[in-house]
Structure 1
Amino acid sequence: MQPLLLLLALLLPLGTGTEEIIGGHEVKPHSRPYMAFLQFLDNGKKRRCGSVLVHKYFVLTAAHCRGSSMRVILGAHNIEKKERTQQVIPVKRAIPHPDYKNFSNDIMLLKLERKAKQTAAVKPLRLPESKNPGDSGDPLVCNNMVQGIFSYGKQNGTPPGIFMKVSHFLPWIKRTMKRL
């Protein structure tokens, strides 16, 4: 769990007071090949969110992580450096949940311009098959499946963090992915 928390903290927007890691450690490079880094412009300002690759053409993130010039970086260990494992893919279409409003139903699918090439550093994370069981858009992972998408929490990073339960949105996710 600590490696995931570290990854979540690293992907939070600058200025949120989470630039330092407290009680965490760096994860083994590319040990989370499903992690995706979303960059976009919001009113001319560069923003970023975490996200998760769930299919070769789709990334799941928080709906409030929307803007222009959206692109996803896959296969990165250190986002500040160019790595041969990185794949930078523009977002073709952002599909927020139809009932998204002020952190309610805060979940969004991103259709990629081209498919992600699966490698050791880039692999999709399975969606849960039933209703049984950071950073904005980052996944809550359990049993190698995405169970939640981080929506919001306290600015200082202390609990609680609010996650959208992915299994609740499965019909919408599957219907949307099939349609596109």
Structure 2
Amino acid sequence: MSLFLLLILLACFLPPRTQAGEIIGGHEARRHSRPYMACLRTSKKRSECLCGGFLIREDFVLTAAHCIGSLYRVTLGAHDISKKERTQQVIPVSRGFLHPNYTAEKSANDIMLLKLARKAKLTSAVQLLSLPSPRAQVRPGQVCSVAGWGRAAPYHQKSSNILLEVNLTMQDDYQCQSRFPEEYIKATQLCAGDPNLRKGAFLGDSGGPLVCKNVAQGIVSYGEEHGVPPGVYTKISSFLPWIHKTMQRWNGRRLNRKAPTFPV
């Protein structure tokens, strides 16, 4: 059995935390107010977003490692994914770069880069999202936000066609350490979502960005089985060297062999 098939199978049998993504307690985003958002889909026509992601370079999308699978195309510039909007750009993924220390069992180092088959054209509906500085800190009490096309509640069977968003309050690390004592790593993860409010990300939009002051500080990773906040987000600032090194080593002909890759 290949490494990547094993990772996919492990991701399907996780304990009572679950990979996150559905936007719970949110509302419709203003059309194209988040032009960096990416919908990861299969080649099936009009399929739901398997995961979210965000454009950080014209030819690279950042997402969660547990989104590994048959990701054949990325839709950029979308608001209603059920329609063929003139702003949309659908681009195949040519190669994925999984973080070399990713572990599916505990969602550690849950980060992945997707190399697009061609560069996205930057427009008013398709833009890059800034990455944080190496020493960036997100403090408890700060209000950030997430967005996605997932379901709006755990009991909903159908994902949202329109982009939803919700504001989240950052939490002290102990809130997530007490909820996920065997998984949460404060050096590489962030804790977000008021435990007294049913607002946050849940199943369906993993890989989307946690945005604080127009900067991507986190990536939707995992949360409680029924969507009760807080949820856990990969801390992007901890992975900046790997992100920049991986993108710099790609020149269209040569792969970064120090990081696991997979074709799609």
Shared fold (TM-score, shorter chain, > 0.5): yes
Cα distance in 2 for residues equivalent to 1:161 and 1:80: 28
Provide the identity percentage.
59
Partners of 2:40 and 2:74 within 8 A in 1: yes
Counterpart secondary structure, 2:85: coil
The structure having more radius of gyration, on CA atoms, is: 2
Once residues 71 and 53 of structure 2 are traced to their aligned partners in structure 1, the CA distance between those partners, rounded to angstroms, is 16
Identify the residue that residue 80 of structure 1 maps to in structure 2: 82
The number of equivalent residue pairs is 160
Find the counterpart in structure 1 of residue 119 from structure 2.
115
Matched residue SS, 2:132: coil
Contact 1:40 1:66 in 2 (8 A): no
Alignment match, 1:168: 238
8 Å Cα contact 1:33/1:75 also seen in 2:
yes
State how 1:1-180 maps to structure 2 within 5 Å. Answer: 12=21, 23-40=25-42, 48-102=50-104, 103-133=107-137, 134=201, 135-180=205-250
TM-score (norm 2): 0.57
TM-superposed deviation, 1:25: 2.0
Amino acid at match of 2:219: I
Identify unmatched segments of 5+ residues in structure 1: 1-10, 13-17
Q: For 1:47 and 1:87, locate their aligned partners in 2 and report how far apart those are by CA, in whole Å.
A: 15
CA contact (8 A) 2:39 2:49 kept: no
Contact 1:36 1:74 in 2 (8 A): yes
CA distance in 2, matches of 1:136, 1:69: 13
CA–CA distance in 1 between the matches of 2:91 and 2:24?
32
Q: Report the secondary structure of 1:169's partner residue.
A: helix
Give the Å deviation of 1:161: 1.1
Residues of 2 paired with 1:99 and 1:124: CA distance? 26
**Distance in 2 (alpha carbons) for counterparts of 1:114 and 1:131:** 32
Where relative contact order (Cα < 8 A, 6+ residues apart) is larger, the structure is 2
Aligned 8 A contact 1:37 1:72 in 2: yes
Letter of the 2:98 partner, please give it: P
After TM superposition, give the deviation of residue 70 of structure 1 in Å: 2.1
User: Which whole-Å deviations, capped at 9, do the CAs of 1:2-52 have from their partners, x for residues lacking one?
Assistant: xxxxxxxxx94xxxxx5xx764321110000011101148xxx97600101
Q: What is the TM-score of this pair, normalised by structure 1?
A: 0.82
Change in Cα spacing, 1:147 to 1:64, as seen in structure 2 (3 Å) is same
Q: Distance in 2 between matches of 1:112 and 1:120?
A: 20
The structure-2 alpha-carbon separation of the partners of 1:125 and 1:175, relative to structure 1 and needing over 3 Å to count, comes to same
Contact 2:96 2:114 in 1 (8 A): yes
Stretch moving more, 154-163 or 115-124 = 154-163
Q: What value does the CA root-mean-square deviation take over the aligned residues?
A: 2.1
Deviations 1:93-146 (A, max 9, x none): 110101011211010000100001000000010111222132210100112111
Query: Within 2, Cα distance between the matches of 1:86 and 1:47?
Result: 14
Cα separation, 2, equivalents of 1:144 and 1:40? 29
SS at match of 2:29: coil
How far apart, CA to CA, are the structure 2 residues paired with 1:48 and 1:165? 22
Q: 1:47 to 1:74 in 2, by over 3 A?
A: closer
CA 1:120–1:176: 2 relative to 1, 3 Å: same
**Counterpart Cα distance in 2 of 1:115 and 1:58:** 8
Cα deviation digits, residues 66-112 of structure 1 (max 9, x gap): 11252110000011111000000000111010101121101000010
Structure 1 residues 29, 149: closer, same or farther in 2, change over 3 A?
Answer: same
